[in-house]
Amino acid sequence: MIPGADSAITRNEKSLILAYDHGLEHGPVDFEPNPATADPDRVFEIGTHDAVTAVAVQKGIAEGYYPSYEDDVTLLAKLNGTSNLWMGEPNSAVNWTVENAVEVGAEAIGFTVYGGSNHEIEMVEEFRDAQEAAREHDLGVVMWSYPRGQGLKNATTPSTIAYSTRLGLELGADITKVKYPGSPEAMSHAVTQAADSKVVMSGGSKTDDQDFLTTVRNAMDAGANGLAVGRNVFQRDNPEQILDGLEAVIFEDASVKEALDV
C-alpha cells in the first residue's frame, strides 16, 4: 500500500479537494464571476461543506484565515506556485516549507510538477525534498502533475495524462491531480498507470452543471478517486449547490440525473 494513501484528506479513499490558489496562479480575474470569493473567508466557508475533504491554499491565505476554520476544514498546503505574470518556461516557486505548513495546521501538502518543462529537473528535486519532509511529518502528498513547456504540443493527450499519473506514482505522491484526458477510456488508462496511488481530476474552467457533473461521473467510472476543483465550484452563484451534486457523484455513486436533482 502507498504510504499515506488513505490519509486525512480522503473519505473512503475518495477526495474532493477545493483548490483556492487561483489568486496567485491566475490573478484576481478568477474572482470576477463571483466577486465575494476574492475574500478567503467566503471560500473557507464553502470549504466547510461536508463534501470537501480538504481546502488547498497558499501560505499567506493559510496563515491569515485558516485559524478560524481549523475545526471544520482540513488544510492542504500548496507549497509551490507562480503568478501568471511570469512569462518564462513553466516553473513554480517554492513558497513555504513543510515545517511551516505543519505549524499552520496542514495535514497534506500539494506540489506542482511541470513534467516536460525545461525546469523539470529542479522541480522534481524540490518535490523530493517536500515529499520526504511530508513523510517525516505524516502528511499526505498531492502532486499537481501538469506536463507543459516549450517541447510539449498538447498537454492533455491520453498518453501525456497517463505519463502524468505515472510520474506521481514514481516520485512518491499519494494522490496525483491531472487534467481530464477527454474520454473515460483515456482516464481509465491513466488510472491504471498510477497503480495503487490515487488519481483525482482537475476541475478546469467553469462549465454548466450537466457537462461538469457528467465529466466527473465519467472520471469516477474510469476509476478516479475524486476531484480537485476550484473555478467550477467557487465561480458559481451557488457553490454549495454544486457541492451537493458532487458529493452525490463522488461519495454516493449517484448518476448525473440524481446529482442534478439533489
- For binding to ligand FBP (CB under 6 A), which residues are involved? 19, 21-22, 25, 144, 202-204, 229-232
Nearer to ligand FBP, 10 or 232 (CB): 232
Q: What are phi and psi of 77, to 5 degrees?
A: -85, 110
Task: Write down the least CB distance from residue 26 to ligand FBP, Å.
Answer: 6
The residue (of 3 and 28) whose beta carbon lies closer to ligand FBP is 28
Closer CB to ligand FBP, residue 38 or residue 138? 38
The DSSP result for 164-204, as a single string, is: HHHHHHHHT-SEEEE---SSHHHHHHHHHHTTTSEEEEE--
Is 177 labeled as catalytic in the residue annotation? Answer: yes
Minimum distance of ligand FBP from residue 203's CB (angstroms): 3
Closest separation between CB of residue 145 and ligand FBP, Å?
A: 10
Residues 108 and 131: their CA atoms lie apart, in Å, by 10
Least Å distance, CB 19 to ligand FBP, is 4
Q: Which residue blocks in the chain are alpha helix, DSSP H?
A: 22-25, 40-47, 59-65, 98-104, 120-136, 158-171, 184-193, 209-221, 231-234, 239-252, 256-261
187 within 8 A of 181, measured Cβ to Cβ: yes
Active-site residue, selected from the candidate residues 14, 59, 78, 177: 177
Which residue has cell 476544514?
A: 73
Position of minimal CB gap to ligand FBP: 203
- Measured from the CB atom, the residue of 22 and 189 that comes closer to ligand FBP is 22
63 is written with which cell numbers?
496563515
Residue positions annotated with a catalytic role: 177
